[in-house]
Amino acid sequence: MGAQVEAWDSAGAERAIAVLKAVADPTRYRLLWALSRQEQPVGSLAEMAGAHVAAVSQHLAKLRAAGLVVSRREGTRIYYRAAGPHVRGLLEEASLVASAPAGEAEPGAVREEPAAVAQEQPARAARRVRARRPVTE
């Protein structure tokens, strides 16, 4: 049993959550997909998204804050691109997860029981869970 269990990394989890929140918006997902292929100016991205330049700029600011895009200025234009090949990998993995049938696991993978998963969560998260009241008629 050479498998090693990783300790809960709160800071790492918070960064991952920020990335997932940034990608969770359909417009931002679409912008990232386009930027993972090639660098583009904000105007072209706005046209592609069918949105105002100001709205696209706000989306790009959130993606930049999450570390998913980088920008460069050329005169009055700002060009954006994906922060690296890992961004395209994130989008492709999300597509694979979304298209996988529910309950499907990799061959030989050990499924974790809900109790085991709950033990890994921080204690403060456990306090937020409320038990459901039984239905009485």
- Among 62, 68, 67, 85, residue whose Cα is nearest residue 32: 68
* Residue-wise pLDDT tens digits, 87-123: 999 999 999 999 988 766 555 555 554 444 444 444 4
Could you report the per-residue pLDDT of 119-132, keeping only the tens digit for each?
Answer: 444 444 444 444 45
The pLDDT > 90 percentage for the chain reads 61
Classify residue 75 as left (phi > 0), alpha (psi -120 to 50) or beta: left
Strand pairing partners for 72? 79
Fold annotation for 10-100: Arc Repressor Mutant, subunit A (1.10.10)
Backbone angles phi, psi at 46, to 5 degrees: -65, -40
CA distance 72 to 54: 17
Mean pLDDT of 27-53: 96
80 by DSSP, 3-state: which? strand
Predicted pLDDT at 7: 82
Beta bridge partners of 71: 80
Q: Can you tell me which residue has the tokens 């292929």?
A: 37
Amino acid 72 reads R
Q: Is the pLDDT of residue 29 over 80?
A: yes
Cut 0.75: pTM above it? no
Question: Would you kindly state where each structural domain of the chain is located, as residue ranges?
Answer: 10-100
